[in-house]
Amino acid sequence: MLHEKLAAEIPQLKRGMVWCRICGQSQRVNATEALACGWPKCCGYTMTIDSPEERAALQGESHE
């Protein structure tokens, strides 16, 4: 099953947490279930598997 493989191989999915980019709310998620049934949304947007710290680090890199 592809979803289970993905959830097992991607560390951010395995951690089982998602964050809202808009309001910063975090929520636990079953990645396998979410991939199959629909990803959680908040503030009208799909929630991200990257933590705020990781997003800040990524943004810092891309703007350098």
Distance CA 55, CA 31 (A): 19
* Options 8-16, 18-26, 28-36, 52-60: segment touching Zn ion (CB under 5 A): 18-26
Shortest reach from residue 55's CB to Zn ion, in Å: 14
Is 56 a binding residue for Zn ion by CB under 5 A? The answer is no
Shortest reach from residue 40's CB to Zn ion, in Å: 10
Interface contacts to Zn ion, rule CB under 5 A: 20, 22-23, 25, 42-43
